[in-house]
Structure 1
């Protein structure tokens, strides 16, 4: 029979209320009493919950993951990699949907601190000073995914977004396209917005093509509706365009749907290349050519990095993950 809180209280010669207060970190007992109770917990193997285990071992076998949009396909791929890797090591995952909201992020960090998580994975969001300060106060390992900070020295796992966007644009150029539009996400987004636009522009410049700001459309995020709005603008205002670089696969799928609505055939009338290589890219009509981020692997690698930091107390090196073009059927070659 598993030991109970009454067994702990009896052997430690204290009340069950005292044991409960110690387990929940409440005041009202001496340091000597706390040590005695924790020793009895360890001796009896009493494990009421993760908090109690954490008080004994100083670990709760729980990780916190902060994501700005849990419902996105992008987040789902990363989260699968994190959760599979965590569960292989008998760890649980607390997922926090921050919604790119500073107040919500801070509140979730407070919750994770109260839950005494062993480490945090912070994903695809700008690392603000208040977030960093709250994390450092927790004194636990932290790894970033699909974001990085030059100001704050935290290890990260990501692709080189500028280089990946360059590769996508270069692929279109090498297939004979010279009049290329881009549908980006939020204009001033420093994570996936600015670097991908810069990569697109750099590729055009390097191949002697004109950089026209009017050929870049921006949206509210990197989702389906942004792709729809951007493609509407391209169809209505940019009649000479032969190809579109979409800054995410969800944007690309939105663009495909609008092209189809207007009777434009992809890739015969216009070519589209995406970014991410989400599972939905294989299912679209036509199947989407895209630049691949290995999102599942990024989640897996980041979790293993976090475990290494938890187990050794040492920092780890950041990882830039290679990207590659996945060629399907949404880009047509134009013979010069």
Structure 2
């Protein structure tokens, strides 16, 4: 049998309002009354109705998170950080997989609005005007993860993509390479695509190395397939390259697979550095040297920012988190003769 709050009140011989106050941690009752209510809850094995409690507290104790690809290792690491923080802060999370599809994103935003979530985390996609209008109409806090918006005033947590790409390319330079190509993402992507290209070019320019557009492949995205198809094109255009900066680990792993098919030895004949430090990077053959984004920390920090906004009712400052090079075995040092 499923008992209600009315049954608990009757069993404890108190009012329904008193049971509600005990459940929500409010004052206005004695210690003895609290013990009677808690004992009644225990004896009846009463489970509070989350929806009913939400109507009282004006909170659902849930937050929504939207991913463009929820099954990816990138998303999984961010989600691990988010879930750890959410549960520590006494709430739960609704995960939405948008598949980078505008209509699906709008459908999920409507669902999260109907669920009356307390806040939203928006991951790795650009904020369109349509998204912004819907999010703004919900009147709840929003924090962006691994993306940002120059047009709309949402706080964000990310690394500096341009600086991280500079660091990756500069590492190759310091390892003795002077003929360095790039497997990039979509140059129309102003959040991660173009900034990583800019960082690559800046590192070359700072070292006095020529910038050759033939040494850059612009892909539609950052996928394994993009890297697999991009490497042969890049080597056809620039056959004298000794190193490549790949703008994601997936691109790098696709390139390593294509190199194997082409009979190009990594790193003896061609060095490759990736970007992200996904778990699969250290499983590659050879293990992938890469620029690490602190993805779990990004998830935790963004969640803590979201809860601060939910509790304080005001905007928080955006955060740029540090990146670093993780050295493995896919980059060979070229020593001067």
Q: Same fold (TM over 0.5)?
A: yes
- Pair 1:42-2:20 in alignment: yes
- Distance in 2 separating the partners of 1:70 and 1:56: 33
The SS at the match of 2:171 is helix
Contact 2:223–2:250 (CA under 8 A) maintained in structure 1: yes
Q: What do residues 288-312 of structure 1 show as CA deviations (whole Å, max 9, x unaligned)?
A: 1111100010001101111111122
Listed as ranges, the matches of 1:166-181 within 5 Å are 166-181=166-181
Alignment match, 1:93: 93
Deviation at 1:51, TM superposition (A): 2.5
Alignment match, 1:149: 149
Which blocks of at least 5 consecutive residues in structure 2 are unaligned? 11-15, 24-45
Listed as ranges, the matches of 1:247-326 within 5 Å are 247-326=247-326
Alignment match, 2:130: 130
TM-score relative to the length of structure 1: 0.87
Contact 1:67–1:98 (CA under 8 A) maintained in structure 2: yes
- Pair 1:111-2:89 in alignment: no
Deviation at 1:129, TM superposition (A): 1.4
Q: What do residues 77-105 of structure 1 show as CA deviations (whole Å, max 9, x unaligned)?
A: 11111011111222111111111221111
- Distance in 2 separating the partners of 1:39 and 1:129: 44
Contact 1:3–1:44 (CA under 8 A) maintained in structure 2: no
Bigger Cα displacement from structure 2, 308-317 vs 54-63? 308-317
- Distance in 2 separating the partners of 1:110 and 1:39: 33
The SS at the match of 2:186 is coil
TM-score relative to the length of structure 2: 0.86
- Distance in 1 separating the partners of 2:49 and 2:198: 49
- Distance in 2 separating the partners of 1:333 and 1:163: 22
Alignment match, 1:229: 229
- Distance in 2 separating the partners of 1:49 and 1:105: 29
Quickly say closer, same or farther: Cα 1:179–1:79, change in 2 above 3 A.
same
Contact 2:168–2:245 (CA under 8 A) maintained in structure 1: yes
The SS at the match of 2:90 is coil
- Distance in 2 separating the partners of 1:55 and 1:47: 16
Contact 2:162–2:197 (CA under 8 A) maintained in structure 1: yes
Contact 1:241–1:270 (CA under 8 A) maintained in structure 2: yes
Contact 1:185–1:219 (CA under 8 A) maintained in structure 2: yes
When the two structures are aligned, how many residues end up with a matched partner?
Answer: 310
The SS at the match of 2:108 is helix
Alignment match, 1:241: 241
- Distance in 2 separating the partners of 1:39 and 1:99: 45
State the superposition RMSD in angstroms.
2.2
- Distance in 2 separating the partners of 1:229 and 1:182: 13
Q: What do residues 120-141 of structure 1 show as CA deviations (whole Å, max 9, x unaligned)?
A: 0011100111111111111111
Which blocks of at least 5 consecutive residues in structure 1 are unaligned? 11-37
The SS at the match of 1:245 is strand
